[in-house]
Chains A and B, each alone.
Chain A
Amino acid sequence: MGLGFWQIILVAVAVAAAVRYLPVLPRRWRVLASVAVILIFACWMPFTVGTFKTSQMATVATWAIVAIGLNILTGYNGQISLGHGAFVTIGAYTAAILTDNKEHLGFIDASAWPFWLAVMAAGVVAAAAGFAVGVPALRLSGPYLAVASLGLVIALPPVLAKYDSLTGGRLGIRVPQPQPPELLSDLINRDQWFFFLALVTMALMAILAWLIVRSRWGRAFVAVRDSEVAAMAVGIPVARYKVMAFTVSAFYGGVAGGIFMTTIGLITPESVSIILSINYFTAIVIGGLGSIMGSIIGGFILVFLPDLSTDAAKVFFGAQQGKQLWPTVYGAILIGVIILMPHGVAGFVHRFERFRPAHVAQAAKGLPGAMRRTLQRFSWAWDIRPGGRKGAGKS
């Protein structure tokens, strides 16, 4: 047994940070190189950390896909959805129906689709559902949209349980899981194969998201988020882009649902619970809104924060009580992180990036004077003269 799971993560992050910030590479290659470092570590990990951690990592990658999609909707476009679990469920059912070796509705024949085709179809069906939800969502905003979208994920399980000829009712659908291809079958086992499936899908979806948010669409999403009126005034079709954001975001949910179903081999109406659906939202806010890296951190939060808080609770309250009190620690961590890092973990990292040793030097240069300057800088807080608050508005 070499390095433990968290040591590997730490080393990976440290090496990636070193590549990113130390002047060993030409500037333009640094970001790509740090991503490559993370990917190399990710590919090596399943061969050292054991089966359980490998399947957990597969779940991280899967939920990171949902988080990226939800972040496009909430972080870039400013629409809140607490009901993204519904799109994940729809995608999972689509993939399950296409691969379960049974005939459905008279036109889906018994032969199973290849899983990657089924996952694509899951994304497309979920995107259609997202379009159908996105159009009425145009009427709602803020908390009203949040509650209405929560209704979506509450309402879906009874509907799925009711129409059991297609969905298998409460018991759900069990599907045969794909095996690693012949070529690789002595190199990797099934869990490692699933991990690589999820990782590759996540990487592709992250690249797609990166392309989207830097395109004309992405700029329109952000413009609509910041001010609908201003966006309208410069000729952006606001309604079209809001619906588009919902559709793209649901597509991500559906693809993740397809991967999720493939790795579990089973889908039931309650597989994606209401709590999980709300947690997708929590994860992207803590990870960082409007950031793809933040979404991937969100995937980690979804899978590992409960484990971490259990460990912390055991340290604080002893083994027995810790097992019962872990949600208290979990909640406290959520609150603490959001107070200390108002823009999420990704926002914290970005701030850290702008931090230079010169800042420390300047801050240390004669503290009393620095304190006076600080007071002056924040004097708008009590200065009520007109214009006194110049530059103190929204940052």
Chain B
Amino acid sequence: MESLGQITTVLTAPTAAFLAAQPPWENPDLFFSQIVAGMATGSIYGLVALGVVLIYRSTDVINFAQGEMALFVTFVGWSLIQADVNYWIVFVLVLALAGAIGALVERTVIRPVEGGPVLNPVIVTLGLFVIFNSLTAFIWAQGQLPKGFPATPLGSQLEVADLGFARITQHQLMVLIIAVAVMLALYLLFNHTKLGLAMRATAQNPVASRLMGINVGQMLMLGWVLSAMVGAVGGILVAPILFLDLVTMLRVILFAFAAAVLGGLDSPPGAMVGGLIIGVVQNVASTYSFGPVFFGPELSLPVALLVLVLILLVRPTGLFGRRAVRRV
């Protein structure tokens, strides 16, 4: 738990990287690079937020353990890579493990509290958060932390990719490509397969779906599997950038929650858009000190949260969320 105590320190760390840069019109290259790099970070937030949204829209549960589950499987991946397993095999194994953990969690601890008081699943996921965090600490924190995690073999973390208008690292480019691929795969799954149709039907109206012969329990479990896998992709992609530590995913998950809420908790594209907005704003603001000009760099985090709250006040269910209409 001491590691959890550092959370505030970690959250304020980006402000330490505060730079006084030239104004954007004098160095457009830097400006666009910062935007694209922000999109890369933002797409990772978006992936984790997507995991949160996938679960929320089918079961009305906010999974606070999303980040820690991803952290756990990413550490497993680190161990495999230390054992000289091929990167892509590790990638597949980690996703499979994440899916298995997602299924197990849904079956064993989420299902018993469903249909009970509405806040009980929240407590269960908070409990899972603590469990996964402490297991990770117990298994991997004996050696040195943080641990380095390799970038994908296709894009190194050190070399630069020149897009013409912007220069980012190759890994950031790969992150963008993989995030788009994941989004595309999910879009195809949900909108062009019978399974996806069944999952959407379950999310919308479980009773009617059951009457139509859909195995609702299985669909809910599948939702957890998909969500854990998407989260694991986020974990693997963020690990080379932030290094693997016990608090790595804590920082990601808080921005991911912000992204999910910003985009609307029941909208998968919203999660991605929310992630991109937060990533870009965070990157650009820490480079150019727009907000911090008035408040100083220490306050960039509160200012960012203030902006989030202001957006929520205008659109209480996020940018793309459906307004909840309750029947009386």
Residue of B nearest to A153 (CB): B8
Contact A155/B138 with A139-B313, A161-B298 known, Cβ cut-off 8 Å: no
- A108 interface contact, C-beta 8 A: no
B4 touches A275 (CB 8 A): yes
Question: How far is A326 from B131 in the complex, measured between Cα atoms in Å?
Answer: 9
Q: Is A177 an interface residue (CB 8 A)?
A: no
Query: Which B306-328 residues have a C-beta within 8 angstroms of A?
Result: 306, 308-309, 312-313, 316-318, 324, 326, 328
Q: Is B23 an interface residue (CB 8 A)?
A: no
> A334–B254 Cα gap in the complex (Å)?
22
How many residues on the A side are at the interface (Cβ–Cβ under 8 A)? 53
In the complex, which residues of chain A have a beta carbon less than 8 angstroms from the beta carbon of B317?
A: 144
* B130, A330: Cβ atoms closer than 8 Å: yes
Q: Which residues of B contact A289 (CB under 8 A)?
A: 117, 119
CB distance from A332 to the nearest CB of B (A): 6
Distance in Å: Cβ of B120 to nearest Cβ of chain A: 5
Indicate whether B122 reaches chain A with its CB closer than 8 angstroms: yes
For the complex of A and B, the 4 pairs showing the least CB-CB separation, nearest first, are A327-B134, A334-B127, A331-B130, A331-B131
Q: Is the CB of B11 within 8 A of A154?
A: yes
Residues of A within 8 A of B309 (CB): 136, 148, 151
Contact status A147-B123, CB under 8 Å = no
* Set B120, B137, B302: member contacting A155, Cβ < 8 A: B302
A159 adjacent to chain B (CB < 8 Å): yes
Contacts of A286 in B (CB 8 A): 123
Q: Does B75 contact A (CB under 8 A)?
A: no
Question: Interface-forming stretch among B189-197, B216-224, B232-240, B257-265?
Answer: B257-265
Chain A residue nearest in CB terms to B4: A275
Given contacts A80-B119, A139-B312, A343-B117, whether A151 and B134 have CB atoms under 8 Å apart is no
Report if A237 contacts B (CB, 8 A).
no
Q: Report the minimal beta-carbon distance from B247 to chain A, rounded to whole angstroms.
A: 12
Taking a contact as CB atoms closer than 8 A, the residue among A144, A155, A156, A327 that contacts B133 in the complex is: A327
- Interface contact B112-A154, CB-CB below 8 Å: no
Return the CB mask of B112-132 against A: 1 if under 8 Å, else 0. 110011011011101111110
Q: Which of B259-308 contact A (CB under 8 A)?
A: 261, 265, 295-296, 298-299, 301-302, 305-306, 308
Answer whether residue A19 sits at the interface, using C-beta atoms and an 8 A cutoff. Answer: no
By secondary structure, the A interface counts as helix
Judge if B62 is at the interface, Cβ distance under 8 Å: yes
B8 near A273 with CB under 8 A, answer: yes
Beyond A140-B312, A159-B299, 11 additional contacts (C-beta under 8 Å) are: A144-B312, A148-B261, A155-B302, A158-B12, A162-B295, A289-B117, A325-B134, A331-B127, A331-B130, A335-B127, A338-B113
A154 and B305 within 8 A (CB): yes
A341-395 at interface with B (beta carbon < 8 Å): 342-343, 384
- CB-defined A-B contacts under 8 Å, sample of 27: A74-B119, A143-B265, A144-B265, A147-B258, A148-B261, A150-B254, A151-B308, A151-B309, A154-B8, A154-B301, A157-B8, A158-B299, A158-B301, A159-B302, A162-B295, A273-B8, A274-B7, A274-B8, A275-B7, A324-B137, A327-B133, A327-B137, A331-B128, A332-B131, A334-B123, A334-B130, A338-B123
Q: How far is the CA of A154 from the CA of B135 in the complex (A)?
A: 25
Residue on A nearest B211 in the bound complex, by CB: A384
Task: Name A75-125 residues within 8 Å CB distance of B.
Answer: 80
Interface residue A229 (Cβ < 8 Å from any Cβ of B): yes
For the complex, what is the distance from the CA of A148 to the CA of B315, rounded to whole Å? 13
Contact A229 B326 (CB under 8 A): yes
Asked if B181 is at the interface of the complex by the 8 Å CB criterion, the answer is no
Q: Which residues of B contact A332 (CB under 8 A)?
A: 127, 131
A14 within 8 A of B: no
Task: Answer yes or no: B182 CB below 8 A from chain A CBs.
Answer: no
Q: Are B134 and A285 in contact (CB under 8 A)?
A: no
Residues of B within 8 A of A156 (CB): 302
Chain B residues with Cβ under 8 A from A278's Cβ? 126
User: Chain B 90-116, CB within 8 Å of chain A: the 1/0 string?
Assistant: 000000000000000000010011001
Bound Cα distance A269, B296 (Å): 18
* A141 on the B face (CB < 8 A): yes
A339 within 8 A of B: yes
Contact A326 B123, beta carbon cutoff 8 Å:
no
Question: Is A285 touching B298 in the complex (CB atoms < 8 A)?
Answer: no
B86 to nearest A CB, angstroms?
Answer: 32
With A162-B298, A274-B8, A334-B130 as contacts: A155 and B306 at CB distance below 8 Å = yes
- B120, B305, B313: the one within 8 Å of A342 (CB): B120
Asked whether A146 is an interface residue with its Cβ less than 8 Å from the other chain, the reply is: yes
B78 at the interface (CB under 8 A from A): no
The smallest beta-carbon distance between B121 and chain A, in angstroms, is 9
A227 sits at the interface (CB 8 A): yes
Interface membership of chain B positions 17-58, coded 1 if the CB is closer than 8 angstroms to chain A and 0 otherwise? 000000000000000000000000000000000000000100
